[in-house]
Amino acid sequence: MFDDSYFRFPDSPAGLYDPLRYMIGIGGKRIRPRLCLLSYGLFREKPCPGLEDVAAALEIFHSFTLIHDDIMDRSPLRRGKSTVWKRWGEDAAILSGDVMLIEAYKRIVKAPEQCRMQVVDLFSDTAGKVCEGQQLDMEFENADFISMREYHDMIGLKTAVLLACAAKTGGLIAGASQEDCDALWRYGYDLGIAFQIADDYLDAYGDQQVFGKPIGGDIINGKKSWLTIRALEKNSGAAAFTEAFRAKDVAEVKRQYDSLGVPSDALAEIVRYSGSARSALDSINADCSPLEDFAEKLVGRVR
Amino acid sequence: MFDDSYFRFPDSPAGLYDPLRYMIGIGGKRIRPRLCLLSYGLFREKPCPGLEDVAAALEIFHSFTLIHDDIMDRSPLRRGKSTVWKRWGEDAAILSGDVMLIEAYKRIVKAPEQCRMQVVDLFSDTAGKVCEGQQLDMEFENADFISMREYHDMIGLKTAVLLACAAKTGGLIAGASQEDCDALWRYGYDLGIAFQIADDYLDAYGDQQVFGKPIGGDIINGKKSWLTIRALEKNSGAAAFTEAFRAKDVAEVKRQYDSLGVPSDALAEIVRYSGSARSALDSINADCSPLEDFAEKLVGRVR
């Protein structure tokens, strides 16, 4: 479906570009380029010049954020492999991330001329928001209490806007109407929220082999995930949960989650947002089943 | 000459955008935007829409590189003030640098439509090269020996290509001929080489108040500057210099420089490259005195 030649980077200096190849090479589900291509495919059968460059740009941008986030989060593993900073050191990870963002821009500007500025402006606006989301995520780590509203704003910026951008960009390149492009954006956004809650769920309840990271990582790192915030909502004033969370006691925190019914609440919320994502497609006068199937597969992994 | 409103950034989250305002606010000589505007001014009297956005983009990009370089170099001071990572921490400095690169791109794409892709492609190509230069600079710190050729390649990438890009971009926006744009690029490149050698010279022989950084910083950090490489060229096999350099003995290294005539060699090289920069302008059929004066002022600071 997607030609990896769009992920080629210069050979030299190897110390700068090897981490880019590594990061693209360790896999990932290519969610953002696939979303862009599927959205495009709702309206047009044949790809057009620039489409795959733009799709690749979205993945390259996402990989850039992972390289830098992993430094900030001190994460040793990503997709079951060493993170870039663990393998090449922090300085190399900073610089390789920088050049990866530039490589993303080299491709995004290859959008067809008639929609280029819309695509590039949406991309830059989205990229800035992703940084804002990461900033809020870091600030939340030092905050005593985060409301569910604040959490949603944060994951909206950190995760959902990029999926929204990917879906809308496919529509823009296909020449879809403004209304259809906006519907695609809302689909991507709600799917992104569902996806992030699923990620938070899997961090505590997933299979390490599949998830690629140690289970309970969020608890160990004191991250205020959807599960934590929901537990605090249901259990305000009770010290047992707060104590277990402060002590980074994964087993006890999960016992508290279970007794509060947090996992089933999370599953219900994932279903609600993925349903809302699918509903956003109703107004589009095209067969949207590829995007419906995509949503199902993406968040269906929690079951 | 240059309106600072082009340097406005979003207010919130303050933790993300305050470092951008700080970095722009602590000054700097605005070399790159001035170069762009002066080059444009050779061909056209009145500014055009997008010109100042592009000029600002060049400064914002440069500031982004400084924020990240200062982390990698562990530099506590920049222009006499705390560096961003010293003041806000490394994680904030990584993320603020990232969003600053995105802010640069938001402005560079405002180049007038008829030259937009040329301007943006030149910018991305240059930005990638600047990262390559920083990578080589870091690799050189761990190398036993760096030749003058390797040093020139490195500063060409790290410093000179951005001045070259700034000068050429002004010409592109003004609609100057390909030949004139190429001449402007060569002017900027050679001026950049002269400027970097002057910077290396001032690091050892400047006035700390004017220079904004502690004198001898390159020696203390084991950086292989033009002075070091020239000293090794003239003095190969003699252990006295190498020992003083390894011991980070600023006074003794400078005594060795002096006895080898390195400072006067540096001054001669600066004059040679700034002369070569001016010569590149000969083929341009316009009054180039503003760029000649600019070169004179920029590297004249060493005298």
* b/e sequence A207-217, b meaning 16+ C-beta within 10 Å: eeeebbbebbb
Indicate the residue of A109, A117, A135 with minimum beta-carbon distance to B15. Answer: A135
pLDDT value at B216 more than 80: yes
Adjacent-strand bridge partners of A77: A82
- The pLDDT of residue A237: 62
Q: Closest Cα to residue B214, out of B63, B88, B76?
A: B76
Measure A17 CA to nearest chain B CA, in Å.
9
**Does A68 contact B128 at a Cβ distance shorter than 8 Å?**
no
How confident is the model over B56-97, as pLDDT tens digits? 999 999 999 999 999 998 989 888 899 999 999 999 999 999
CB-based contacts of B131: which residues, under 8 Å, 6+ apart?
A16, A95, A98, A99, A102
Alpha-carbon gap, residue A59 to B176, rounded angstroms: 37
A10 contact partners, CB below 8 Å, separation of at least 6: A17, B128
- Residue (of A123, A164, A107) closest to B106 by Cα position: A123
**C-alpha to C-alpha distance for A163 and A181, rounded to whole angstroms:** 13
Q: In whole angstroms, what is the distance from residue B249 CA to residue B184 CA?
A: 41
Please spell the DSSP secondary structure of A179-217, one letter per residue.
HHHHHHHHHHHHHHHHHHHHHHHHHHHS-HHHH-S-TTH
CA distance A71 to chain B (A): 8
> How much is the pTM?
0.96
Helix (H/G/I), strand (E/B), else coil: B146: coil
Contact A109, B121 (CB under 8 A): yes
CB contact under 8 A, B95 and A139: no
| Range B213-227 burial, b when 16+ CB lie within 10 A, else e | bebbbbbeeebbbbb
Instruction: Kindly report, residue by residue over B139-164, the tens digit of the pLDDT.
Output: 998 888 899 999 999 999 999 999 99
Using a CB-CB distance cutoff of 8 angstroms, which residues of chain A are in contact with residue B105?
105, 124
Chain A: closest CA distance from residue B13 (Å) = 7
Among B11, B62, B95, most A C-beta atoms within 10 A, so best to mutate, is B95
By the CB < 8 Å criterion, does A131 face chain B? yes
Chain B partners within 8 Å of A72 (Cβ): 91, 94-95
Q: What is the pLDDT of residue A80?
A: 86
Cα B288 to Cα B39: distance, rounded to the nearest angstrom: 8
The verdict on a CB contact (< 8 Å) between B16 and A94 is no
Q: What are phi and psi of B9, to 5 degrees?
A: -125, 160
Q: How many CB atoms lie within 10 A of CB B282?
A: 9
The predicted structure's pLDDT at residue A28: 84
Output the pLDDT for position A48.
97
User: pLDDT by residue (tens digit) across B255-292?
Assistant: 999 999 999 999 999 999 999 999 999 999 999 999 99
Can you tell me the distance from the alpha carbon of B140 to that of B200, in angstroms, rounded to the nearest whole number? 15
**pLDDT band, residue B3 (cuts 50/70/90):** low
Kindly give the confidence (pLDDT) of every residue in chain A, 303 residues in length, as a single tens digit, with 9 standing for 90 and above: 556 788 999 999 999 999 999 999 998 889 999 999 999 999 999 999 999 999 999 999 999 999 999 999 898 988 889 999 999 999 999 999 999 999 999 999 999 999 999 999 999 999 999 999 999 999 998 888 899 999 999 999 999 999 999 999 999 999 999 999 999 999 999 999 999 999 999 999 998 877 777 789 899 988 899 999 999 998 876 788 889 999 999 999 999 999 999 999 999 999 999 999 999 999 999 999 999 999 999 998 776
Could you say which residues from 170 to 209 on chain A have a Cβ atom under 8 Å away from some Cβ of chain B? Answer: none
Q: Verify whether the Cβ–Cβ distance A128 to B95 is below 8 Å.
A: no
Helix or strand or coil: residue B124? Answer: helix
For B218, residues 6+ apart whose C-beta sits below 8 A from its C-beta are B200, B203, B204, B225, B227, B228
Tally of CB atoms within 10 A around B12: 11
| Chain B residues with beta carbon closer than 8 angstroms to that of A136 | 13
Residue A147 Cα distances to A25, A111, A138, A202, B110, angstroms: 37, 39, 15, 21, 39
State residue B81 phi and psi, 5-degree precision: -120, 165
**What DSSP string runs through A143-157?**
-S---HHHHHHHHII
> Which pLDDT does position A91 carry in this prediction?
97
What average pLDDT does this structure show over B153-177?
98
pLDDT for residue B34 is more than 60: yes
pLDDT of residue A44: 98
Q: What is the mean pLDDT of chain B?
A: 94
Residues 6+ apart with CB under 8 A from A284: A42, A180, A183, A184
Q: What confidence score (pLDDT) does residue B237 get?
A: 62
- Determine the pLDDT at residue A132: 98
What local confidence, expressed as pLDDT, does residue B303 receive? 66
CB-CB under 8 Å, A13 with B91 = no
d(CA A70, CA A81): 12
Cα A178–Cα A182–Cα A188 angle in degrees, nearest 5: 145
Q: How confident is the model at residue B26 (pLDDT cuts 50, 70, 90)?
A: very high
**In this complex, is the C-beta atom of B140 within 8 Å of any C-beta atom belonging to chain A?**
no
Tokens of B8: 């406005």
Q: Say which amino acid occupies B5.
A: S
**Nearest-by-Cβ selection for B94 from A68, A102, A139:** A68
Interface membership of A137 toward B (CB under 8 Å): no
Over residues B48-56, the mean pLDDT reads 97
